[in-house]
Amino acid sequence: MTTTTLSPSTPVDTPARPARSVAPIPMTRLVGVELRKMFDTRAGFWMMASVGIVTVLATAAVILWAPDEAITQNTFSSAIGMPLSVVLPIIAILSVTGEYSQRTGLTTYTLVPWRGRVMTAKVIGTLLVGVAAMFLALAVGALGNVLGSAITGLDAVWDISLAQFGNIVLANTLGMLMGFMLGVLFRSSAGAVVGYFVYSLVLPIAFGTLAAFQSWFADLQPWVDVQFAITRLFDNTMTAEYWQQLGVTTLVWLWIPLALGLRAVLRAEVK
Amino acid sequence: MISVESLTKQYGPFTAVDHVSFTAATGRVTGFLGPNGAGKSTTMRVMVGLTRPSSGRVTITGRDYRELLNPGLEVGVLLDASAQHAGRTGREILAIAAQTMGLPKSRVAETLARVGLTEDEASRRVRDYSLGMRQRLGIATALIGDPQVLILDEPANGLDPAGIRWMRDLLRGFADDGGTVLLSSHLLHEIEVIADDIVVIGQGRIVAQGSKSELLAAAGTLVRTSDVDTLARALHEAAVVTSPIDGGLRVDADPELVGETAHRAGVVLRELRAADGAGLEEMFLELTAETAREGAAA
């Protein structure tokens, strides 16, 4: 096909407007924007609200139904921690996949064409939400413990050490990063949420069943099953070997896929 | 000023954009015209760093898009008015853009007024917006940073005739203030109404570019022959510019010169006449027919 210009365009010498001084976008602002985006839709708002609601409901359930001797801080924290560990990773997933499923990435990545910075802001934003949620859970759990003990008439039992709380924070942080990893890997809300349930429900059951019937796998499971390794953080008996197993399993199930997912986010065409 | 230099984008064996070069000049509205799938959107996505080019480059006011410190303040971009979170209100979407760019909150209300969205409309969620309202919101996002360059993909899509006139006046004013505007469309009429300069793209290649008056008034000669290739080569040797049409060529020369050239080249002509100023439209129809989905004979 012969393609030829009919006539060259004539550049016009209209002076451009005087250049303004433009300052780079600071990371704090990007984190602020990402936090705002987590709350400003109806779905996002209720997702966040569910963190508070779950915390209060779980606390109430312990006060109502737990036997008197089980009214301890540890009971409250486990009761709150379980549902929270489901909700937090989904918050992490949606912060990434929203850009793709709702196609807002077209605007986000043109306003901030450095996708690595956008991802960093998202990670910081999600982790801030996660840490805030865990302190909220700690506070509500403590309140529940005081209330529960007052009702039973026993002395309040404070049986969570700082180290233990630290481990719980770490476990939930790993859970959120897991959600984040699935988000960057799938870049679709539906796919990543399904992936998350496979990760958190299907795989642990499959590994558990295999370990129950095959003795050779029972010894191997702690080195393979990432949920198994993470769940042990909730107990206060972490040994050096447990930490190694946590390192090995998260390397395979979290850090490597996360690196691949981030690479894909940086390179993939945004449509 | 936007400068596109020999831009190429390949998807496997498919070449979506094939050595595209053009300039959108400061103070002008440049229309980027081509049928659906011609490569307009791909070119625009490369401009703003959403797609990596296979080769070639684009500079905006002399810089790569990623070298801009705060792109929203320098380049206003609207690529797809429908690519917004359906659950956010129009005001919220604009507020997020303003916050990202570091602008004061007051700019949101100002910009909403500028694009003709009422307070009430701005409080609605985008899922309840018409396409025309989404376009206005998208243009608001592009304008809020008070940039010097606008890149708009099919911005008139979904606007009613009054909306198209409003857009023309808006872009006219923007260009008259020393801004650069590049907008795409698959409708010749829209581009005719809004643009000063026109770049026509078909199947990933630039097929024509020039000022609107030049292109629309282009006279020249229409020639049909069964041996188009030989004639085209002969005309090129005579330094005459040609563009292909169905079974022939449109030539930027008078019929006498074309006839002489054909005679020397020994090519038999079936038709030779002065083109009647409809060069652009004919060429565009030709392009559209070639890429038509109905499988029309090409």
Domain ranges of chain A: 27-201
B213: buried, middle or exposed (CB in 10 Å: 19+, 13-18, 0-12)? exposed
Q: How confident is the model at residue B258 (pLDDT cuts 50, 70, 90)?
A: confident
Closest by CA position to A262, among listed A196, A190, A180, A195: A180
Write the pLDDT tens digit of every residue in A201-243.
899 999 999 999 988 888 888 899 998 888 888 876 788 999 9
Cα Rg, chain B, nearest whole Å: 22
Q: Is the CB of B70 inside 8 Å of chain A's CB atoms? A: yes
In the predicted structure, residue B66 carries a pLDDT above the cut 90: yes
> How far off is chain B from A66, nearest CA to CA, in Å?
40
Q: How many residues does chain A have?
A: 271
Sort out which chain B residues have CB atoms less than 8 A from A97's CB and list them. Answer: none
Chain B residues in contact with A271 by the CB 8 A cut-off are: 45, 50
CA-CA distance, B237 to B226, in Å (whole number)?
19
**Where does the pLDDT of residue A2 fall: very low under 50, low under 70, confident under 90, or very high at 90 and above?**
very low
Strands B14-24 and B248-251: unpaired
DSSP A122-183: HHHHHHHHHHHHHHHHHHHHHHHHHHHHHHHTSPPB----HHHHHHHHHHHHHHHHHHHHHH
Residues A173 and A176: their CA atoms lie apart, in Å, by: 5
In the prediction, which pLDDT does A4 show?
45
Closest A-chain CA to B99: A33
> Chain B: residue nearest A37 by CA?
B96
Distance CA A207, CA B110 (A): 59
For A81, residues 6+ apart whose C-beta sits below 8 A from its C-beta are A137, A168, A172, A234
Q: Which of B79, B87, B215 sits opposite A42 (nearest CB)?
A: B87
pLDDT of the residue at B59 = 96
In terms of CA atoms, which chain B residue is nearest residue A265?
Answer: B50
Work out the minimum CA distance from A9 to partner chain B, whole angstroms: 4
The pTM of the full predicted model, rounded to 2 decimals, is 0.82
A65-69, A234-238, B241-245, B290-294 — which is least confidently predicted? Answer: B290-294
| Among B140, B143, B89, CA closest to A42 | B89
Q: Which residue of A has its CA nearest to B175?
A: A14
Q: Do B23 and A9 touch (CB under 8 A)?
A: yes
Region label for A158, one of left (φ > 0), alpha (ψ between -120 and 50) or beta (otherwise):
beta
Which residue of chain A is at minimal alpha-carbon distance from B179? A16
CA distance B97 to B82: 16
Which stretches of chain B are assigned E, i.e. beta strand?
2-11, 14-24, 29-33, 55-60, 75-78, 149-152, 180-185, 197-202, 205-211, 221-225, 242-245, 248-251, 269-274
Q: How far apart (Å, rounded) are the C-alpha atoms in residues A70 and A66?
A: 6
Closest chain B C-alpha to A148 CA, distance in angstroms: 40
The answer, for B45 touching chain A at a CB cutoff of 8 Å, is: yes
Task: Please report residues of A whose CB lies closer than 8 A to that of B242.
Answer: 2, 4
Q: Give A44's contacts in chain B (Cβ within 8 Å).
A: 87
The identity of residue B123, as a single letter, is S
Provide the shortest C-alpha distance from residue A117 to chain B (in Å): 12
Tell me if B60 sits within 8 A of B2, measured CB to CB. yes
- Which residues 75-134 of chain B have a CB within 8 Å of chain A? 77, 79-80, 82-88, 92-93, 96-97, 99-102
| Contact check, Cβ <8 Å, B206/A3 | yes
Pairs across A and B, CB distance < 8 A? 167
List the Cα angle B278/B284/B286 in 5-degree steps. Answer: 100
Which pLDDT tens digit goes with each residue over B237-255? 887 878 787 778 888 788 8
H helix intervals, chain A? 27-39, 42-65, 73-101, 105-111, 115-152, 162-186, 189-197, 203-213, 215-224, 226-231, 240-250, 256-267
CA–CA–CA angle A96, A33, A99 (5° rounding): 25
pLDDT at B277: 52
Q: Which of B50, B123, B235 to mutate to test the interface with A (most CBs of A within 10 A)?
A: B50
Across residues B276-292, what is the average pLDDT? 66
At residue B175, does pLDDT exceed 70?
yes
Burial B26-39 (b: 16+ CB within 10 A, else e): bbbbbbbbbbeebb
Whether A110 and B79 lie within 8 Å, measured CB to CB = yes
Chain A contact set for B65 (CB, 8 A): 113
Inter-chain CB proximity B96 and A20 less than 8 Å: no
Question: CB within 8 A of A269, min separation 6: which ones?
Answer: B45, B50, B51, B52
Q: Are B241 and A23 inside 8 Å of each other by CB?
A: no
Contacts for A242-249: CB closer than 8 Å, 24+ residues apart: A248/A223, A249/A222, A249/A223, A249/A224, A249/A225
> Any CB–CB contact under 8 A between B185 and chain A?
no
pLDDT at B294 over 90: no
Q: Is B261 on the interface with A (CB under 8 A)?
A: no
Q: Which two tokens stand for residue B25?
A: 């000049």
Contact B178 A17 (CB under 8 A): yes
Residue B293: pLDDT above 60? no
Chain A residues with CB inside 8 Å of B207's CB?
A: 3
- Better-predicted residue by pLDDT, A66 or A194: A194
Q: A interface mutation test: which of B19, B40, B68, B100 has the most A CBs within 10 A?
A: B100
- Is a pLDDT exceeding 90 seen at residue A125? yes
Cβ within 8 Å, pair B102-A102: no
Average pLDDT for A179-188: 95
Return the pLDDT at A1. 43
Among A243, A121, A114, which Cα is nearest to A174's? A243
Q: Which amino acid is at B54?
A: S
Q: How far is B162 from chain A (nearest CA, A)?
A: 27
Tell me whether residues B100 and A112 touch, CB distance under 8 A. yes
> Is residue B5 classed exposed, middle or buried when 0-12, 13-18 and 19+ CB atoms within 10 A define those classes?
middle
pLDDT tier, B218 (very low <50, low <70, confident <90, very high otherwise): low
Which residues of chain B make contact with A32, given a CB cutoff of 8 A?
99
Q: Are A109 and A115 in contact (CB under 8 A)?
A: yes
Count how many residues are written for chain B.
Answer: 298
